[in-house]
Amino acid sequence: MVIYMAALFVVGYAGIALEHNIKINKSATALLTGVGLWVIYIVSTPNKPEVLTNLTEYLGETSSVLFFILAAMTIVELIDAHDGFDIIVRRITIRRKVALLWVTGGITFILSAIIDNLTTTIVMITLLRKLIFDKQERLLFVGAVIVAANAGGAWSPIGDVTTTMLWIGDRISSVNAIRSLFLPSLLCTVVPLLFISFRLKGDAGGNEAEPAEPKVSVHRSHQLLVFSIGIFVFLMIPVFKAVTGLPPMMGVLAGLGILWIVIEIIHINREEEHKKFFSVVQALRNIDASSILFFLGILLSVDALQSTGILAGIAQWLDGAIGNHNIIVAIIGLASSIIDNVPLVAATMGMYPLELFPKDNALWELIAYAAGTGGSVLVIGSAAGIAAMGLETVGFTWYLKNISLWALLGFAVGFVAYIIAH
């Protein structure tokens, strides 16, 4: 069973990576891989009720992620429909591409620590579409956003799901995590941005934007109101989770409901033919549904590997074969560029007891850094990268050629910086 599942997983990921070469949409490949892994699992296991129980449990977690993405993308679309992001665009007067790269990278790094790397990526890509009109150059900026979003989320307890897991699991404290991981995460961002800077010349805005459909005018006060509520919703998601104990999905859904009501009220007197441009229904039509199905396929695949114990077995084998914790953590970080970092971190939390590695031990902080930033090495290695694939059609091969090496170098510099400091 393990051999068959591993083989299917490798073939499936190869299909995703070679999407443009084989001319098959990555969402179809991801769905087939995810379902296929569960089919192999249930056919090979005599205890079928246990498999169904595991599937039901993981579907609950998966749906939480998918509904979060769906609601977040809808809010972003609603803000964009009201030209809300123009408020930021008007204030970014920098036109030199290199300077703009560092500004957007810095905003991404900080914002992802406050909200989360996935939502930050969605917001920043929407902004980049209004700032960089040339598709190929915008992809370089998107690559920088992926790296900065993952690094920014790694040093904050609420910025990346794995850091949050370690925080909630009482492995790290918020103050120590910020103090110890900020500099390595910053270096992880700065190094790739330095190399990307050499690829950029001249000023932004030199090319014409892609033609857009004529839009109904929006009153400036409505523009500001929708933008403010949308951003406030994103900022309050970590607070909502901390206060209620409910998953982030519930917070973003509540925020979407509030924004929906506000939009209905401010457009109550508009004619229906104009009102539809600002509706949630129209926003849902604008969302790339195939990207949601792609997320589903990827998450189903990883859940199958975790449910069968394959991921935990790999982690335990590494511990026995290598022994050096720094090397093991580095491997875990690089593995997170292929496999979801959540089950990898969950496996390590089970491998190393708190009795031997107490709270705020360097091992836990290094795991938080590695798992949070290692996913930047490949575009499929993080939620931010997968979101970028769906929103900007960032190809696996393109990312591998243009971003992966610099992301790997940034990961290594930050990793070594942490070891030297501790």
| pLDDT tens profile 174-194 | 788 889 999 999 999 999 999
pLDDT, position 58: 81
pLDDT, position 214: 45
Nearest partner of 391 among 78, 116, 103, 77, judged by Cα: 77
The 10 Å Cβ neighbour count of residue 56 is 9
DSSP annotation of 45: -
pLDDT, position 207: 45
Residue 358 counted as domain residue = yes
Number of structural domains (the chain) is: 1
Residue 12 counted as domain residue = no
Mean pLDDT computed over every residue of the chain: 83
Residue 8 counted as domain residue = no
Greater pLDDT, 62 or 400? 400
Say how far apart CA 284 and CA 30 lie, in whole Å. 22
pLDDT, position 61: 75
Is the CB of residue 417 less than 8 Å from the CB of residue 403?
no
Say how far apart CA 322 and CA 301 lie, in whole Å. 27
Residue 44 counted as domain residue = no
| pLDDT tens profile 50-107 | 889 888 888 887 788 788 778 888 888 888 888 887 777 777 777 788 999 999 999 9
Say how far apart CA 36 and CA 41 lie, in whole Å. 9
Does pLDDT of 136 surpass 90?
Answer: no
Say how far apart CA 301 and CA 281 lie, in whole Å. 30
Greater pLDDT, 290 or 267? 267
Rounded average pLDDT over 395-402: 87
Q: Which residue has the tokens 């790999």?
A: 314
| pLDDT tens profile 340-355 | 676 567 667 766 777 7
Q: Is the pTM value of this prediction over 0.85?
A: no
pLDDT, position 382: 82
Say how far apart CA 406 and CA 163 lie, in whole Å. 23
Residue 2 counted as domain residue = no
Say how far apart CA 294 and CA 188 lie, in whole Å. 28
Greater pLDDT, 214 or 384? 384
Cα separation values, 264 from 258, 272, 277, 278, 394, Å: 10, 11, 12, 9, 35
Say how far apart CA 172 and CA 358 lie, in whole Å. 9
Quote the domain boundaries for residue 392.
58-206+215-421
Confidence band for 357, pLDDT divided at 50, 70 and 90: confident
Residue 152 counted as domain residue = yes
Q: Which residues pair with 96 in a beta bridge?
A: 203
The phi and psi torsions of 96 (rounded to 5 degrees) equal -70, 130
Say how far apart CA 32 and CA 37 lie, in whole Å. 9
Rounded average pLDDT over 308-331: 78
